[in-house]
Copies of this chain bind each other. A is one copy, B any other.
């Protein structure tokens, strides 16, 4: 999908939720969409500042990322301290539980929707030690198709 369409989708989702889609936010989201791998807040700060006269502080980038996460346009990968755009940026389906698999070799990250069997397995497994599941986002590590062919 063309990037301008993605950005238009994002803008709409923000406005529907009563948030603004400012130039800074658009610019930073665009950089994250174009990224081939997850980026840190500091990566995004640097990227922004390379391409703009007006500079931005990491603090602002963190706030903008928090906003996008709230809007479910961006996900954080907590073990990497990096951020990716939601792979459902362009589609309408309300966002469900997801997890990520990250390639140990090239760093590429794939968002995977949790299927019901997996959800059930996790819930049962967690219940077995007396816990009640609240938040099931997580990251696994592996090799992507490209990288496992090369090795």
Contacts and interface: CB of A to CB of B under 8 A. Distances in A.
Contacts of A131: 101, 103, 110, 142-145
Contacts of A141: 133-136
Nearest to A120: B121
* Copies of the chain in the assembly: 2
9 contacts: A78-B78, A101-B133, A112-B125, A126-B140, A130-B145, A132-B143, A132-B148, A133-B141, A133-B142
Interface of A: 78-79, 99, 101, 103-104, 110, 112, 115, 117-118, 121-122, 125-126, 128-136, 138-145, 148
Given A78-B79, A112-B126, A133-B141, 17 more contacts: A101-B126, A101-B129, A110-B131, A112-B125, A118-B121, A121-B121, A122-B140, A131-B143, A132-B142, A132-B148, A133-B140, A134-B141, A134-B143, A135-B142, A136-B140, A138-B138, A138-B139
